[in-house]
Chains A and B, each alone.
Chain A
Amino acid sequence: MKEITYAQAVCEALDEEMARDENIVLLGEDVGFIGGNFKTSVGLLEKYGELRVKDTPISEAGFVGMGVGMALTGLRPVVELMFSDFLLVAADQVINQAAKIRYMSGGQVTVPLTIRCPIGAGRSSAAQHSQSMQAMAAQFPGIKIALPSTAQEAKGLLKTAIRDNDPVLFFEHKMEYNKKFTIDDEVQPIPFGKARIAREGRDITIAATSSMVMKSEKAAERLAREGIDCEVIDLRTIVPFDRETVIESVKKTGRLIVADEAYERCGIGAEVAADIAEDVFYYLDAPCGRVANPNVPLPFSPALEFPLIPSEEKVYEKVKSYFR
């Protein structure tokens, strides 16, 4: 066991995978000389050289497209976008190319491309650099979507993402990068589509993604002192979605709250609740609830920004509203 930051865990995953497979290359703005905007590739340029760690121009459509091409020719590119908001700049490459090529070729080629990008508000980065794009991205068949919560999860899931033969959108949370976590000395790849029960409980299920997992665990600790026993599920990946684990949990607890930082409208909470509704309807003891970003752009002013961010307090309040 050791203590490292989330950013270091990402860096270790990249390092270990690159050492294991020489086909893995890194692309992105400032991934080389600077070592990553959020220090997630420190030292990799020096270790693996300019051929495998490429600083790119500020041209997301260009270098994501380059990654798609590299993937088609047998490389395993890991492309970093500085903010998940910039996915929209490269949307055609991600949605129309990477996600479609395996299907349109009848399975003759695959696109083993990993796109890493940070999500989340809390840094006063304003409306264009604070969004969480996972819900939008989940609309499109052909892309897997991972949302690691802890450093351990980030390291294990990133290894799986890189080894996967299909395009993976890997959403890291920018507010977690500098936080320290306890992590195993050796972290094995964590399979996609298998959720983690972060905390067992019998009264209510909180299905969460990314940093909402930690916020939900903290809320659960508080709620436990008040006699409400929460089960916290770390969904890990929303595509593929481990519906069985959520269904089993909701059948046990009878209540579900989905906590995800993307916008509420057409968001992960809406999807999870609707997806499992047929299987759990006669087990529900309360309507399914959501904790998500309200349907407004994120403001620059911290005084306005923080009240919008889905927080530990909001999870706590939502759970409390179910128990009178």
Chain B
Amino acid sequence: MRTTDTLSSADRWEHIQARLGINRMLHRVKPGLYTLGEPDPDSPVFVTSNYKLSFDALRSSLKGMSAWILVLDTHGINVWCAAGKGTFGTNELVKRIALTNLRQVVRTRVLILPQLGATGVAAHEVKKQTGFKVEYGPVRASDLPEYMKTRKATAEMRRVRFTLLDRMTLVPVEMLGYALPTLIAGAVLYFLGGWFSALALVAAVLAGAVLHPILLPWIPVKDFSVRGFILGLLVMIPFLVASLTGSQGALWLRLLKLVPIVLGYPTVTAFIALNFTGSSTFTSVLGVKKEIYRYIPLMAWFLGISVVLTIGFAVAKALGG
């Protein structure tokens, strides 16, 4: 199969779709061996996943180069996540080398893999089973031209980052993912507490899906749940002020009305923030597990109390209280 180092407008349109999570499992490339330019048996062999964004990032980074590209079948999942699952793994690589007859097609016995593929591939195993030496290139395909000059990755090339741009790229898919649940819960809240409650929910969700990814490194708290809760509280300030100045009646009743604002809505933000751990590039299994055990029970209490109170206020209002 042949491919090129240039991206067409159709490619770019598909990238936008992928970034928005549209047809997200369908952005696939056929697994197998591709030629880029006019490779000879000594040209370098690059290995990638069959997720379109991964494949395109690789080929468009190899501008003007002649090379072989071995695409593994990762079911349309990117290299790092597929490596975590083992689909970008030793077995698939060994199998794909055999299926494509790579040993006969090329003379080189070196495969250049993306560094993040290392989570699924045991280099010494591949060497033992196929004779190919696995060489881990840089984390990012864009560093490949520099890497190919010396075949050595700098410490910087070996580090995963989570830049503002990386995080902003995730915002659309975050927002779209929470759109439907927010719409449904917002409609329910509108019937219970009017526009005030519905808007508070939207604010809380946006704080989790938009503000949290963007502001992540600048809020000096490590736990995602707590960071989310703080952000949730911040966006609740206008609602808090509105509730304090707008409501009448006994002091205890006015204070009780603040409970969902102080506990309930920020919990929504906290939960969304906790779910961002999977999108981040640095959270450990043990840490996330600790967060779940620490904060999920608390979140359930906060949310439960708030839901009961919100329903209570709505019932009282309907009864003319």
Please indicate whether A and B come from the same complex rather than being unrelated chains: no
- Give chain A's interface residues, CB within 8 Å of chain B: none
- Give chain B's interface residues, CB within 8 Å of chain A: none
